[in-house]
Amino acid sequence: MTPPRDAALDLTSVATGYLSDVAVLEDIDLHVEPGQAVGVIGRNGAGKSCLALTIAGQLRPQAGRVTFGGADIAPLSSRARAGLGIALVPEGRQVFGQLTVRENLVVAAYGVGQRLTPAAFDAVTEHFPVLRTKEADLAASLSGGEQQMLAIARALVQSPRIIVCDEPSLGLAPVAIDVLARVLGSIRDSGVGLLLMEQNRGLLEDVCSSVKLLDGGGIKLTVEPRDLSRPEVMAAYLGHAGSAHAL
Protein backbone atom coordinates (compact mmCIF):
# COMPACT_ATOMS: atom_id res chain seq x y z
CA MET A 1 0.00 0.00 0.00
CA THR A 2 1.45 3.36 -1.02
CA PRO A 3 -0.35 6.34 0.52
CA PRO A 4 -0.29 9.68 -1.30
CA ARG A 5 2.58 12.01 -0.44
CA ASP A 6 0.25 14.24 1.56
CA ALA A 7 -0.93 11.32 3.71
CA ALA A 8 -2.58 12.39 6.94
CA LEU A 9 -2.87 10.21 10.01
CA ASP A 10 -6.36 9.82 11.48
CA LEU A 11 -7.64 8.07 14.56
CA THR A 12 -11.40 7.78 14.87
CA SER A 13 -13.11 6.61 18.06
CA VAL A 14 -10.09 4.50 18.98
CA ALA A 15 -10.01 2.43 22.14
CA THR A 16 -6.69 0.82 23.04
CA GLY A 17 -4.67 -0.65 25.88
CA TYR A 18 -1.81 -2.96 26.76
CA LEU A 19 -4.12 -5.91 27.39
CA SER A 20 -6.73 -6.94 24.84
CA ASP A 21 -9.60 -6.64 27.34
CA VAL A 22 -8.55 -3.57 29.38
CA ALA A 23 -8.84 -0.17 27.73
CA VAL A 24 -6.32 2.50 28.78
CA LEU A 25 -7.76 4.98 26.28
CA GLU A 26 -11.22 5.27 24.75
CA ASP A 27 -12.89 7.35 22.09
CA ILE A 28 -9.67 8.91 20.79
CA ASP A 29 -9.99 11.17 17.73
CA LEU A 30 -6.81 12.62 16.26
CA HIS A 31 -5.73 14.14 12.96
CA VAL A 32 -2.14 14.97 11.96
CA GLU A 33 -1.26 16.39 8.56
CA PRO A 34 2.11 16.61 6.86
CA GLY A 35 3.99 19.67 8.10
CA GLN A 36 1.76 19.93 11.16
CA ALA A 37 2.86 19.35 14.76
CA VAL A 38 0.21 18.18 17.19
CA GLY A 39 0.99 17.80 20.87
CA VAL A 40 -0.42 15.41 23.44
CA ILE A 41 0.14 16.38 27.06
CA GLY A 42 -0.62 14.10 29.95
CA ARG A 43 0.67 13.09 33.33
CA ASN A 44 2.59 9.90 34.05
CA GLY A 45 0.31 6.99 33.28
CA ALA A 46 -2.16 9.06 31.21
CA GLY A 47 -1.57 6.77 28.24
CA LYS A 48 0.81 8.74 26.01
CA SER A 49 3.01 5.71 25.32
CA CYS A 50 -0.04 3.54 24.80
CA LEU A 51 -1.24 5.95 22.12
CA ALA A 52 2.20 6.16 20.49
CA LEU A 53 2.55 2.36 20.40
CA THR A 54 -0.94 1.97 18.95
CA ILE A 55 -0.15 4.33 16.09
CA ALA A 56 3.18 2.61 15.47
CA GLY A 57 1.48 -0.79 15.35
CA GLN A 58 2.99 -2.30 18.49
CA LEU A 59 -0.43 -2.34 20.18
CA ARG A 60 -3.70 -3.22 18.44
CA PRO A 61 -6.72 -0.95 18.87
CA GLN A 62 -9.66 -2.61 20.61
CA ALA A 63 -12.11 -0.42 18.70
CA GLY A 64 -12.15 2.41 16.18
CA ARG A 65 -10.13 3.15 13.05
CA VAL A 66 -6.52 4.13 12.42
CA THR A 67 -5.97 5.35 8.87
CA PHE A 68 -3.04 6.78 6.98
CA GLY A 69 -3.74 8.56 3.72
CA GLY A 70 -7.33 7.37 4.12
CA ALA A 71 -6.34 3.67 4.14
CA ASP A 72 -7.01 1.44 7.13
CA ILE A 73 -3.64 0.45 8.60
CA ALA A 74 -5.01 -1.73 11.42
CA PRO A 75 -3.84 -4.99 9.82
CA LEU A 76 -0.29 -3.71 9.24
CA SER A 77 2.71 -4.65 11.39
CA SER A 78 4.86 -1.94 12.95
CA ARG A 79 7.52 -2.65 10.34
CA ALA A 80 5.02 -2.22 7.51
CA ARG A 81 3.83 1.06 9.06
CA ALA A 82 7.42 2.29 9.28
CA GLY A 83 7.78 1.39 5.62
CA LEU A 84 4.76 3.58 4.83
CA GLY A 85 6.38 6.50 6.63
CA ILE A 86 5.08 6.29 10.20
CA ALA A 87 8.19 6.49 12.38
CA LEU A 88 8.28 6.08 16.15
CA VAL A 89 10.83 7.74 18.44
CA PRO A 90 10.22 5.66 21.56
CA GLU A 91 10.27 6.82 25.13
CA GLY A 92 13.76 6.45 26.61
CA ARG A 93 15.43 6.82 23.15
CA GLN A 94 16.29 3.08 22.91
CA VAL A 95 19.36 3.60 20.75
CA PHE A 96 21.82 0.70 20.46
CA GLY A 97 24.49 1.75 22.93
CA GLN A 98 27.13 -0.69 21.72
CA LEU A 99 26.82 0.42 18.10
CA THR A 100 28.30 3.61 16.71
CA VAL A 101 26.17 6.57 15.71
CA ARG A 102 26.51 5.65 12.04
CA GLU A 103 25.72 1.99 12.72
CA ASN A 104 22.55 3.02 14.54
CA LEU A 105 21.46 4.91 11.44
CA VAL A 106 22.38 2.01 9.13
CA VAL A 107 20.26 -0.37 11.21
CA ALA A 108 17.30 2.05 11.24
CA ALA A 109 17.41 2.44 7.46
CA TYR A 110 17.74 -1.33 7.05
CA GLY A 111 14.60 -1.76 9.14
CA VAL A 112 12.56 -0.25 6.30
CA GLY A 113 14.52 -1.96 3.56
CA GLN A 114 16.72 1.03 2.74
CA ARG A 115 20.46 1.59 2.63
CA LEU A 116 22.02 4.54 4.39
CA THR A 117 23.41 6.37 1.37
CA PRO A 118 25.95 9.18 1.80
CA ALA A 119 23.22 11.60 0.66
CA ALA A 120 20.81 10.30 3.31
CA PHE A 121 23.49 10.54 6.00
CA ASP A 122 24.25 14.13 4.95
CA ALA A 123 20.57 15.11 4.86
CA VAL A 124 19.90 13.76 8.33
CA THR A 125 23.04 15.07 9.98
CA GLU A 126 22.29 18.51 8.57
CA HIS A 127 19.69 18.66 11.36
CA PHE A 128 22.20 17.30 13.89
CA PRO A 129 25.78 18.44 13.11
CA VAL A 130 26.99 16.89 16.38
CA LEU A 131 26.08 13.43 15.10
CA ARG A 132 28.32 13.95 12.09
CA THR A 133 31.30 14.79 14.28
CA LYS A 134 30.53 11.79 16.50
CA GLU A 135 29.55 9.32 13.79
CA ALA A 136 32.19 6.79 14.86
CA ASP A 137 31.47 7.09 18.59
CA LEU A 138 29.47 4.48 20.47
CA ALA A 139 25.91 5.65 21.09
CA ALA A 140 26.35 4.79 24.77
CA SER A 141 29.04 7.47 25.05
CA LEU A 142 26.69 10.27 23.90
CA SER A 143 24.98 12.67 26.30
CA GLY A 144 21.24 12.30 26.89
CA GLY A 145 20.50 15.15 24.50
CA GLU A 146 22.74 13.66 21.81
CA GLN A 147 21.12 10.25 22.24
CA GLN A 148 17.73 11.87 21.76
CA MET A 149 19.00 13.48 18.57
CA LEU A 150 20.23 10.08 17.41
CA ALA A 151 16.83 8.58 18.21
CA ILE A 152 15.17 11.24 16.04
CA ALA A 153 17.83 10.82 13.34
CA ARG A 154 17.04 7.09 13.28
CA ALA A 155 13.44 8.01 12.48
CA LEU A 156 14.54 10.49 9.82
CA VAL A 157 16.63 7.98 7.85
CA GLN A 158 13.42 5.99 7.38
CA SER A 159 12.07 8.80 5.13
CA PRO A 160 9.10 9.42 7.42
CA ARG A 161 5.91 11.27 6.58
CA ILE A 162 4.97 11.44 10.22
CA ILE A 163 7.09 11.01 13.34
CA VAL A 164 5.52 10.04 16.65
CA CYS A 165 7.83 11.18 19.47
CA ASP A 166 7.21 9.77 22.94
CA GLU A 167 8.43 12.21 25.62
CA PRO A 168 11.56 13.37 23.77
CA SER A 169 12.41 15.94 26.47
CA LEU A 170 12.46 13.37 29.28
CA GLY A 171 15.62 13.73 31.36
CA LEU A 172 17.11 16.48 29.23
CA ALA A 173 18.65 19.73 30.48
CA PRO A 174 16.80 22.93 29.50
CA VAL A 175 19.50 23.84 26.98
CA ALA A 176 19.13 20.45 25.27
CA ILE A 177 15.34 20.93 25.18
CA ASP A 178 15.87 24.25 23.39
CA VAL A 179 17.98 22.52 20.74
CA LEU A 180 15.35 19.79 20.45
CA ALA A 181 12.62 22.39 19.90
CA ARG A 182 14.60 24.02 17.08
CA VAL A 183 15.29 20.70 15.37
CA LEU A 184 11.70 19.48 15.68
CA GLY A 185 10.52 22.82 14.27
CA SER A 186 12.75 22.45 11.23
CA ILE A 187 11.65 18.85 10.67
CA ARG A 188 8.00 20.00 10.82
CA ASP A 189 8.76 22.83 8.38
CA SER A 190 10.31 20.33 5.97
CA GLY A 191 6.81 18.85 5.58
CA VAL A 192 6.93 15.97 8.04
CA GLY A 193 3.99 15.61 10.43
CA LEU A 194 4.82 15.43 14.13
CA LEU A 195 2.86 13.95 17.00
CA LEU A 196 4.59 14.94 20.19
CA MET A 197 3.71 13.16 23.45
CA GLU A 198 5.05 15.34 26.24
CA GLN A 199 4.86 16.59 29.78
CA ASN A 200 7.05 19.60 28.98
CA ARG A 201 4.76 22.52 28.22
CA GLY A 202 7.56 24.68 26.79
CA LEU A 203 8.44 22.21 24.07
CA LEU A 204 4.80 21.90 23.03
CA GLU A 205 4.42 25.68 22.97
CA ASP A 206 7.50 26.03 20.77
CA VAL A 207 6.70 23.31 18.25
CA CYS A 208 2.97 22.53 18.09
CA SER A 209 -0.05 24.27 16.59
CA SER A 210 -2.53 22.43 18.79
CA VAL A 211 -2.33 20.33 21.92
CA LYS A 212 -4.58 17.55 23.19
CA LEU A 213 -4.93 17.07 26.90
CA LEU A 214 -4.94 13.38 27.78
CA ASP A 215 -6.56 12.51 31.08
CA GLY A 216 -8.98 9.99 32.57
CA GLY A 217 -8.65 7.62 29.63
CA GLY A 218 -9.42 10.10 26.88
CA ILE A 219 -8.81 13.47 25.27
CA LYS A 220 -10.24 15.94 27.72
CA LEU A 221 -9.49 19.17 25.87
CA THR A 222 -7.89 20.45 22.67
CA VAL A 223 -6.19 23.81 23.09
CA GLU A 224 -3.77 26.14 21.36
CA PRO A 225 -0.31 25.89 22.91
CA ARG A 226 -0.47 29.43 24.30
CA ASP A 227 -3.58 28.43 26.26
CA LEU A 228 -1.72 25.71 28.17
CA SER A 229 -0.85 28.26 30.87
CA ARG A 230 -4.48 29.31 31.44
CA PRO A 231 -5.55 28.40 34.98
CA GLU A 232 -8.54 26.33 33.89
CA VAL A 233 -6.40 24.34 31.46
CA MET A 234 -3.72 23.78 34.09
CA ALA A 235 -6.39 22.71 36.55
CA ALA A 236 -7.76 20.22 34.01
CA TYR A 237 -4.27 18.90 33.38
CA LEU A 238 -3.09 18.80 36.97
CA GLY A 239 -6.30 17.69 38.64
CA HIS A 240 -6.76 18.08 42.35
CA ALA A 241 -3.49 16.31 43.21
CA GLY A 242 -1.19 18.26 40.89
CA SER A 243 1.04 21.23 41.32
CA ALA A 244 1.92 23.95 38.82
CA HIS A 245 5.55 22.82 39.02
CA ALA A 246 4.72 19.69 37.07
CA LEU A 247 4.47 21.88 33.98
Instruction: State the residues that interact with ligand ATP by CB under 6 A.
Output: 18-19, 24, 42, 44-50, 91
At 198, the amino acid letter reads E
For the CB of residue 117, give the shortest distance to ligand ATP in the complex, in Å.
35
Rounded Cα–Cα distance for residues 247 and 221 (Å): 16
**Least Å distance between CB 47 and ligand ATP?**
4
- For residue 88, which of 143, 26, 30, 167 has the smallest C-alpha distance? 167
Nearer to ligand ATP, 49 or 148 (CB): 49
Q: How far is the CB of 184 from ligand ATP (least distance, A)?
A: 18
Q: Output the CA–CA distances (angstroms, integers) from residue 109 to 79, 93, 217, 226, 228, in the order listed.
A: 11, 16, 35, 36, 37
Helices (H), 93-245: 101-110, 118-127, 129-133, 144-156, 174-189, 201-207, 231-238
CB of 18 to ligand ATP, least distance (A): 3
Comparison of 124 and 180: residue with beta carbon closer to ligand ATP: 180
Return the amino acid letter for 97: G
Nearer to ligand ATP (CB atom), residue 138 or residue 170: 170
Phi, psi of 119 (to 5 degrees): -65, -40
CB of 20 to ligand ATP, least distance (A): 11
Pairing of strands 37-41, 9-16: unpaired
Our CB check for ligand ATP shows the closer of 92 and 113 to be 92
59 vs 150, beta carbon nearer ligand ATP: 59
* Closest by Cα among 182, 194, 148 to 52: 194
